[in-house]
Chain A
Amino acid sequence: MSRVGLALFLAAAVLCIALAATGAVTLLEPTLEGLPSSTRMVAHGVAVGLPSAVCLALLVGVGVAQVRRLGERMQACGHNEAPESGLRAPGWLGPVAEAYDDAAHDWADRLGTLNTRLREVEIRHRLSEAERDHAEAILNSLRDAVIVTDGFNELTTANDRAGALLGFDARGAQHQPIDELIDDKRLREMIQEVRSAGVASKQKHVEHTMPSSGATSSSGESAAAFDVTLTCLPDGNDGVGGVVTILRDITREREISQMKSDFVSQASHELRTPLSSINAYVEMLLDAEAQDEASRQEFYQIIKAEADRVSRMIDNMLNISRIEAGIHSVEHTEVDFVAVCRDVVEAVQPQAKAKDIMLSVKSGPLVYTAQADRDMIHQVVMNLVSNGIKYTPEGGRVTVSVENDDTTRSVMVTVADTGLGIPPDALSRIFDKFFRIENYKRVAKGTGLGLNLVKHIVETVHKGTIHVSSEMGMGSRFWFTIPYEAPGSS
């Protein structure tokens, strides 16, 4: 159709030119009569040629404009502005427009497919980024240090803990040789050894000691113990892809284990001493080594006193253990501290009298009550007052005072004595388990647990505070505070 159209268009154009030329010649003919034939020929030529040239120029102009418009539409298609119905073009340019339309639709289909694939890739990329961030967040949330190296012994991944421990920037150290990142020679060797042993080797566990803040540690900080787990990674071709190294800080576990073992060792040592006396005196009685009734009575008294000591020690140890383990039962009631202190003073009055020690309780005009475990508070005051009596020479004074401490909103109990005093270097350890001042061991018997129990009852159970001050030869002052409100209430 388009070729036929083009032929018709050209025929019409030729006809128009012919008609115009014929018309022009007919119009000129009367004017040319009598002129020489050569002049008439030129005039006829101009009459035919001029309209033909004008017509041709018009035709070419129309054709060029149509081609330009088609070009602009094609360009618009290139910018995804193609009309759904295809490209509009004059008939003689139809084949070009049709071919372009076909190609454009083909390209559009391919572009659509590519766009879909691009979106999929973008989504996958975002997903993998999210997964990577998630994995990084998990790695960084670990308290263990994790270092992953590749087959060339370069860092692949390290979490923040590893960076902090070994002194490098975990996020900016990727692809750096491990030998440049880790100062600890033994750790580098361990990673190297596992890499050399290959994937067939089993996971390796090694206990390793390092400065607690890693390679950057400058001061003589205490060393930290680590459980190091090393695993060789396969590369998919029976080769070594790298090594995963995990460092778990086991310093605290070691300390707790040491503390427990020290406690058991100290407790058994402390229990052996009174048990020795009991055992020895019983054997002496059996062997009839006590020569008279008075001696026998003395032995019985010693055995009884030492058995009481063992019993007190066990009670104290169990109470401390229960409080430390958080399994103590507490009965909070409204406690009148003045009454508790008076009860204690009354109970220990015979011991004070035996040493001619003046015991007294002083209290403010209005002392508040507080929610507390009465028996435990009784034990605290009892231990402090008993110590006061034990370490105060004859004729001394032990004073218990009870008052409100408005600044801390607490009831404050103070036990002051005029005794031997505590050496300054012992003050910081006075509440430690089994701590006893060596020089005072002969002055009085003790378990070394009384003040530790006092501290636990006041601080752990009642959220109060306990303090001590002392001057050698002048006496000691212990004071503790218990909040008016029950622990936990606002």
Chain B
Amino acid sequence: MSDREKKILVVDDEAHIVHVVSLKLTNAGYEVMTAHDGEEALELALQDPPDLIITDLQMPYLSGVELCVQLRENAKTSEIPAIMLTARGYALPQDELAKTNIKSVMSKPFSPRQVLEAADALLGVETEEVAEAA
């Protein structure tokens, strides 16, 4: 569990999604910060850089991709990996992804279990407990 004392920023304009993902991660032992749009997320990340960002794609003010591009361009947050959750039915262009640290793209509806597994994998955390729980 000690490995999971890492900080994850969860961003989505849908309150229920933020709630359910945060709960899954918190229950697994992570420290979770939340934001409801891209701008708020950028502000939070620059203030207190997390170890991982899980973000929605379509959000007010700043989209998930724009957020990740800006984070990568900033020295303080340039190494933070990201997981993108998207309700879009098609793949994101590779050239857009190349400008970001997005390591995984998951389609909505998504499984909180899989989000946790992806977070564990990116943060180098063993997923045994999750597997047992499943």
Contacts and interface: CB of A to CB of B under 8 A. Distances in A.
Interface string B87-118: 11100000000000000000111111100000
A269 B20 CA distance: 19
Contact of A277 (B20, B107, B134): B20
Contacts of B23: 284, 289
Interface residues on B, range: 20 to 34
B14 A283 contact: no
B89 A277 contact: no
A273 B18 CA distance: 12
Interface residues on A, range: 20 to 34
B120 to A, nearest CB: 15
A195 to B, nearest CB: 42
Contact of A269 (B21, B89, B112): B89
Contacts of A302: 16
Interface string A257-278: 0000000010011001101111
Interface in B11-61: 13-17, 20-21, 23-24, 27, 36-37, 58, 60-61
Nearest to A439: B60
Contacts of A278: 109
A132 B15 CA distance: 71
Contacts of A279: 109-111
Given A273-B14, A280-B17, A284-B23, A442 B36 contact: yes
A33 interface: no
B17 A272 contact: no
Given A302-B16, A438-B60, A442-B15, A280 B21 contact: yes
Contacts of B36: 442
Interface of A: 265, 268-269, 272-273, 275-281, 283-284, 287-289, 291, 302, 306, 438-439, 441-442
Nearest to A441: B13
A327 B60 CA distance: 36
Contacts, number: 70
B5 to A, nearest CB: 19
Contact of B24 (A269, A289, A439): A289
B133 interface: yes
Contacts of A284: 20, 23-24, 112
A441 B60 contact: yes
Contacts of A277: 14, 16-17, 20
Contacts of B113: 283, 287
B134 A272 contact: no
Interface string B61-103: 1000000000000000000000001011100000000000000
Nearest to A302: B16
Nearest to A440: B60
Nearest to B134: A287
Contacts of A441: 13, 60
